Structure 1
Amino acid sequence: MENNHDLNSAIQATISAALRNQNASTGQTLVLPEYHGIGNSISFKSWYTKCMNLFEAFAIKDEIRMVANLKLQLRGTAETALTTFLINNPNEQLFNTQIFYEKLYPFFIDPSYPQVLRRKLQLLSQTGSLSDYISSEANLMGDFKGISDAERIYLFKYGLDNKFVDILNLKNPETFMEAINIISKHGTALDMRLAQNHIQKSIENSDAMDIDINKITIMDNKNYEYNLKFELLNDSYAPDTFLYSINGAEVPIHVAGRVGRTYLNNNMVCWNCGLPGHRRANCNKLPIQHNKKGGYSFNQNSYNNRKPSRNYNSNSYGNKYNRRDYYNNNEYNFSGNGPSQ
C-alpha cells in the first residue's frame, strides 16, 4: 500500500509542476474534459482526440507535459485503470501521448458497445433530408469496425424513408458504400419526379395556383421597371398555363382565373400570348382556349365559330413563341405575334 501511495504522490507532484509551468509561460489556463471510464458519455478515443486538439490550440508540444495533463483528467474507474496498469507494469513508461493511448485504450473497450450501437441505429429515423440521415448514421457508427456491411445496410434501412428502402431492396447492394451511392443517385431522381407531379397537380387545382394579390406590385404602364424579370420558357406547359423563368426560378402561372391574369398584367406580361413587354389589351394575337380534347381552339364567343382569315396578323408572322393552328394541322399558320419588345 505504501508503494501505491508513493506512486500516486509522485504522479500528482509531476502533474502539478507541469501545470504550473504551463500557466506561467502562457498566462492561460488549459481546461481539458474529464474521462471517467466505461459508461462515460464519450468514448476514450473521442476524449483523447478532444484533448489533443486542445493541446494543439494552446501550442503545447512537450509530450511529457501533455501526458501529465491527460493523467490529471482521469477520474473514477479510469483513474483506477491507470493505477492498476502502472502497478502491474512497473517497467512501462508513458513517455508520449501515443504510448499513453495505445497502452490504456484496451482498458476502456465497452463489451456492450456493439449492442448499444445497434439499438441506437434501430431508433434512428429520417425526419429531414437524405443527407441528414446519412450523416446521423455515420456519427453514430464512428470508426466502429465490428459490424458487417450486410448488417449495417439492414440497420440503416430501419429509419429510412420507404421509397429509399424500396430502392435498396430492388438493387440489393453488397457494400454499404454501394448502398449510399444507389440511394443518392436514384433518390435524387425520384425526388425530382415527385416534385414535378406536385407541380402538375397544383396546376390542375386552381386554388393551389392562387397568388397573394396584396403582394403584387402594380407598375406604371409607361414607366415600369423590371423588378421581376420574366422569360417565357413554354407557352403550352399545361392547359391555360405558361412556364416562366422569373429572376432565374422556373414558375408555372395559370391564367384561366383572375389571380394569374392580374399578376401578369401588373408585371407588364400578356396573359393571352404569354410574352413580356405588353399587356393583354395591346396584344394582337388570336385569343385561344384549351379544349377538353387536349388541344387548343379559337375562342368561339369572339369569332362566331368562324376560322380567321389567312391574312390575319400576317405582318407579325415569325415569333418563336407562336401558338399552333390545330384546324389545319399546321404548326405555325395563323399564329401571329404580340407587339415588338
Structure 2
Amino acid sequence: MTSAERLRRSLRRAGVTEVAPWDGTVTPGRRHLLVRDDHVYDAILMKDLAGVRNVVLTTESGEPVAACVDAARVEAVAAALTAGGPLPDDLRTVTPGVLSSAHNAILRKRETPYLLPLTAETRPAVERRMFAGSYKGVTDLVTKYLWPAPALRVTRWCAGRGITPNQVTSASFVLMLLALVAFLYGWYLPGLVMAWVMTFLDTVDGKLARVTLTSSPFGNIFDHGIDLIHPPFWYWAWIAGLGSVGLALAYSDAIVVVIFAAYILQRILEGVFPLLFTVKMHVWRRFDSRFRLITARRNPNLILLTVGALAGRPDLGALAVAIWTVLSLLVHIGQVVQASKARRNGPLVSWLAQ
C-alpha cells in the first residue's frame, strides 16, 4: 500500500476519526495531528502522538516529521514539516524512544518503536523492520527461530495479492482438520506435513494482520480460538491411530485423559496468572520467557511427534508428549507458587519492562 494509506489506517486505529491530506485548513479550537508520509511509523507512535498536546516527533537526528498541536500553532508547524522552517519555541520535541515505551506488552518484547525514512533505496530495509516489529518476542522456538525468514516471504506474497489474514486463518483451519483425520487413521507423515504447514500459516496470519493494519476482533478470536482448542485433539487422534500401524499403547485412554487434563490445567494457569499477579506468566522473569520456548504447547510437542514418526515409533512420540505435558504443568504450578511468594515483597513486574 502507499505510505499515505498506511498512515490513514494507523491513524484510524489510533482513534483519529478525521484523516485527510493537508490542504492548509485549520479548525479553530481543535488539535491537529500533522504527519509526513515520506517516513514509516510504528503504529504505537501514532497512537501515543494522538494522545499528547503540542509535541513534535523527530528522528534521532532531530528532523521533525510529525506533530500534534493546538490550532494556533498548526500553520507554523506545517511549514516546519514541509519546508524546514523554525518550530515554535513552546513545543516539546521527542524522539520515538521518548514518546513511546520500548516495552510492548501485547507482543511480549522490548524494542524501540521504529521511525524510518521511506525511499526506493530504503524500502527493503523498511519492509524487514516492519515485519520484525510484528513478531512476538516471547514465543516457542519454532516460531522464533525457524519461521521468520519464510514467513516474511509468504506475508509479502499475501499482502501483494490482497489475501486477508482471515483467509490465511481459514486455510490453517482446514489443514488442522485434515491433519487430525490423517492422525486418526495412522497416516502420520502426511498428517505431519499438513500440521507443520498449518503451524506456519498460523504464524503468517498474525504477521499479515499487523503489517497491513487489518487485524480485527473476529480475526483475533478465530485465530486464537483454533490455537487454544485443537492441540489435545491432535494428540488424541495420534494415539487413536496407533492401532492402525500395530503400535497401540497400553492404557491409551488413561494417557489421553492425562494429556487433556494437563493441557487444560496448564492453559488455565496461564490465563489465571495475569489476573492474580498483573503480569503474564511467560514474561515475568527471564526464565519464564526462556521456558516458553519449549513448554508443552503445540509446536514443541509436534517436534516430539515428528521425531517419533521419523524413527518409526509414533507410539514413543505420543508417550513423550504425555510426559512433557505433565512436566510442563508441574513447572507452571511452581511458577504460580513462586509468584505468590514474590508478591509479598511488592507487585510483580515483567523483566522486559525493567
> Which is greater in Rg?
1
Q: TM-score, normalised by structure 1?
A: 0.24
Q: TM-score, normalised by structure 2?
A: 0.23
More helix by proportion, 1 or 2? 2
